[in-house]
Amino acid sequence: MSNCKSSICSHLIKDHFGDLTQTVCDVLLQKCDCHLRQLTSEAKIPLDRVKHVLTVLIQNNLVTFQKNKRGQTEYTLDHDAILWRNRIPHYIFCGKNLYGDAAELLIEDIAHNGQITMSTVVENVTDKLNEALENAGHPKIGASVVYEKFKALANTHFIKQCVNPLETLCPEDIDECAVAKLYTVPPFQPGNRKRKLASDEEAQPVNKKIKTEAGASAADDHIYWTINNNRFHRYFTDQLLIKAIRSKIDERAGQILQTILRLNEVMTEDLALTSNPVSFIEIFQALPKDLQLSKQICEQYLTVMADDSTGFVNKIGDSGGGMYTINMMKAMTTICTAHVESVIQERFGSKSLRIFRVLILKKHLEQKQEISKTADHAPARSFYLFRVNLEQVARMLLEHSMKALMNTIVKREMETRENRRLMEKEERAEAIIANLERSGGDAEQKEEILQSITPAEKTQLKRVKHMINMLDQCELQLDETIFVLETYLQYCETKLKTKR
Amino acid sequence: MSVEVKQEPALDTDQETRILLLCHENPEGINDALIQEHMPQFDVQQRVTAINRLLSTGRIDLLKSSSGKLIYKLKDSSAADPVKGGDQQEKVVYQIIKDAGNKGIWIRDIRFKSNLLLTQVNKILKNLESKKLIKAVKSVAASKKKVYMLYNLEPDRTVTGGAWYSDQDFESEFVEVLNQQCYKFLVQKAELSKRTKEDPIAQRNGSFASSQDVWKFISELGISKVQLSVEDIETILDTLIYDGKCEQTIVAAAGDGGQTKLYRAVNSLINSTGLMRMPCGSCPVIQNCHVGGAVSPTTCVYFKDWLQLQ
């Protein structure tokens, strides 16, 4: 666990949960597995506060617990899960793109609460939507609409049921049946928040200290749902491929690739090096109708993609009109290389980029690795051959990106801190104005309040807002680079494992 | 007392002429065994003397055949003339330089081949140069190295660098200009193909250009002072491949067999990566940067400048 990553985790926890949680997390970051007593003594916080903090963290899937050899419960912090919290806006955006506003709110609610029952979240979202619709003057919608979206999300595995950690022994014991059950949605009975029949007892409540709704009994469906991060990551990977093909060939090729990926969505396992083969007939039938591609053109696009130098798509047989697979390993390597080349071009110039590409293309030529002609490695008589080790470069750039991410977070915190007084003043002014509007104050009073913020302060505020926006956007873009590098390294590890 | 007419000198010249005749008849060269066959009356000593005399007068050449045997070849009389005035050593050196052809030969190699002292070789080289028989050419590979070749020969490309070097200087702007022109040509071809053709395979095939086409285009543009060959253009197109701006396929050529190389412009996969859109990506002191240090994100000058830009 690198120093940088730990600092980022610490800062993110502080951003999302506050100082107390940060203190507890710092201890967990340093000491890895801790039990309760240890935590309390290291963090110097009273026991009940520590318990409270741990509850919150477990609820948000950031801390797991298990019994150690001595029979004590030890708590472990999941670093990756913390970093994934940064991606929640991206998840929400995906949900909106795929399934619309209802899905967007569903994902936001689930992410906010960590783990939540289906009926609760459906009702929450329905209420929120109806409020917004009423304000805009549209008719209300029923909860069944939202329930349908929920089912859609579950069917494509974007959300999953929480597995009770007390019951599962180890991941290998979960057989296929159980995995399928993770995504089945129980029927929804609106208005029955309090007395809900548990239709299937798939999973028990996830932890003993969960905050239940006021008035809802524990017999409320015992099925809690949470966001399936891996699935979203697979989706992002697919998006990377589609974007690349779109810029390399054209838009329609991107659509075709999207269709193939969608057909493979729930079939292929995570981090498979090549996807399952799909026949041409399936692809053609699954294409969106508004593309209006004839069979011939579709086939031609597939041929072009298969022949292309990027090598994303491979044709492996002729049955069913042609069987096509997607070579994920090669695709990730190409995309990762493209990102690395972009770094080199921006940092060192086009000439350096040319040299770098020559080394990648020729693999072992040119000069640097020492090969000695004579027994002693005399410099005058040894050859040196250069080469590029992409995996090492990816790791180095990942470190670099993490550092940049931390710098961005720190800078943003600093800007917020320095201008806090000003921002609070603006907030107060806005609150007063809102109050006045509600109680029907006149324009004069509003003017007065607005005047209290001087023009100089206004420009300052604008500048600060602009800076914070830029830093936020910067974080998101950095996350994109981090995601590409991390995914590439994951695929490399999988490749190594399958070789052994 | 018997009087012996000294027959030998006449015989010797006679032998020499006969050897020369044999050489004429066998332009590939003759060896000892052949001479002995034709002139069995001369013994080894006379044969050796005759051959030595022919060698020293420069009428024949002594060569080693591939099997390791010595053969004698008739020397081109025109070539024999230039070093008539010089002595044996000069001839040897001259011969070595001539054998190097238009690649030229380095002074150390001359020394090894002729087994002469460095000072001697230097003197001979100066002599030959003043007689305008050889010249020194600086090699682009190693600028201190001078290679010697015959005066009237054109230096080979590997020595002068060919079209990309003018007087030992690498003409990078020239290469750049050609690079951009070729790329523009390929991009135009690809766009034309995309506009006019409907299906993707025809679009892709239409955007290909062979090295011949590019060569014709560049020659017609007339931006190059020297005449460029197709190989030259192919090296330029290779630089485009290394830049990631185009790609190459090899197809079977129409007509007389062999292969042609086709090139087409390609778009890049991504615009730029997130890391490089912010100052930390290209920061030179990122290794020293940490919170509370001399270089830190809170005091970073680059950040300040970047955030000020509206």
CA of residue B100 relative to chain centroid, distance: 12
Chain A residues with CB inside 8 Å of B297's CB? 406-408, 410-411, 414
* A178 at B interface, C-beta within 8 A: no
Amino acid at B174: F
The closest alpha carbon to A125, from A103, A140, A93, A151, belongs to: A103
B/e letters for A119-139, b = 16+ CB within 10 Å, e = fewer, are: bbbbbbbbebbbeeeeeeeee
Q: What is the pLDDT of residue B65?
A: 67
Contacts for B187 with CB less than 8 Å, ≥ 6 apart: B265
pLDDT at A376: 54
Q: Is A341 on the interface with B (CB under 8 A)?
A: yes
Mean pLDDT of B267-278: 80
**Could you tell me the CA-to-CA distances from A141 to A129, A148, A152, B276 in Å, in that order?**
8, 12, 18, 45
Residues of chain B positioned with their CB less than 8 A from the CB of A412: none
Instruction: Take residue B171 and report the two structure tokens written for it.
Output: 């003409």
**Tokens for B288?**
């020293």
Q: Looking at beta carbons, which residues of chain B come within 8 Å of A411?
A: 297-298, 300, 303
The one-character DSSP state at B103 is G
Residues from chain A that touch B298, judged by Cβ atoms under 8 A, are: 410-411, 414
Quick check: B108 contacting A, CB < 8 Å? no
Which residues, 6+ apart, have CB-to-CB distance to A449 below 8 Å? A429, A432, A433, A436
Q: Which residues of chain B have a CB within 8 Å of the CB of A352?
A: none
Per-residue confidence (pLDDT) for residue A485, from 0 to 100: 92
The label of the residue with tokens 């028990």 reads A204
Mean pLDDT of B171-195: 85
Residue A312 has which token pair?
């994303």
**Contact assignment for A243 to B270 by CB distance below 8 Å:** yes
Chain A residue whose CA is closest to B273 = A339
Q: Are A28 and A63 spatial neighbours (Cβ–Cβ below 8 Å)?
A: yes
Using CA atoms, how far residue B152 sits from B16, B107, B148, in Å, is: 33, 19, 12
Match 């610490």 to its residue by tokens. A10
CB contact under 8 A, B297 and A414: yes
The pLDDT tens digits for A335-348 are 998 899 888 888 88
Kindly report the pTM of this predicted structure.
0.76
- The alpha carbon of residue A396 is apart from the nearest alpha carbon of chain B, in Å, by 12
* 3-state SS record for A40-80: HHHHCCCHHHHHHHHHHHHHCCCEEEEECCCCCEEEEECHH
The amino acid present at B186, given as its one-letter code, is L
- In the three-class reduction of DSSP (H, G, I as helix; E, B as strand; rest coil), residue B62 is classed as strand
Reported ipTM: the value is 0.71
Annotate A395-419 with three-state secondary structure: HHHHHHHHHHHHHHHHHHHHHHHHC
Query: Got the DSSP string for A107-124?
Result: HHHHHHHSSEEHHHHHHH
Residue A33 structure tokens: 């597995």
Q: Do B274 and A481 touch (CB under 8 A)?
A: yes
Can you list the positions of beta strands (E) in A224-322?
224-227, 278-279, 313-317
Q: Strand A278-279's sheet: what is its strand order?
A: A278-279, A323-326, A313-317
Give the amino acid at A379. P
Q: How far, in whole angstroms, is CA B153 from its chain's centroid?
A: 13
- pLDDT grade for B50, boundaries at 50, 70 and 90: confident
Contacts of A341 in chain B (CB under 8 A): 244
A225-236 burial, b at 16+ Cβ within 10 Å, e below that, comes to: bbbbbebbbbbb
- Chains A, B: CB contacts within 8 A come to 128
Tokens of B208: 């290909």
Is residue A102 within 8 A of residue A145, CB to CB? The reply is: yes
**500 residues of chain A, pLDDT tens digit each:** 578 888 888 888 888 888 888 888 888 888 877 788 888 888 888 888 888 888 888 888 888 888 878 878 888 888 888 888 888 888 999 888 888 888 888 899 888 888 888 888 888 888 888 888 888 877 777 778 888 888 888 888 888 888 776 665 555 555 666 666 777 777 766 554 433 333 323 333 333 333 333 333 333 467 888 888 888 998 999 898 888 888 888 888 888 888 888 888 766 666 777 777 888 888 888 887 777 778 888 888 888 888 887 788 888 888 877 888 888 888 889 899 889 988 888 888 888 888 888 888 876 555 545 444 555 555 566 666 777 888 899 999 998 889 899 999 989 888 888 888 888 888 888 888 888 887 876 777 778 777 777 888 888 888 888 888 988 888 888 998 999 999 999 999 988 888 87
Residue of A342, A415, A481, A487 best to disrupt the B interface, most CBs of B under 10 A = A342
Angle at the Cα of B248 (from B242 to B250), degrees rounded to 5?
A: 140
Range from A62-66, A410-414, B26-30, B43-47 carrying the lowest mean pLDDT: B26-30
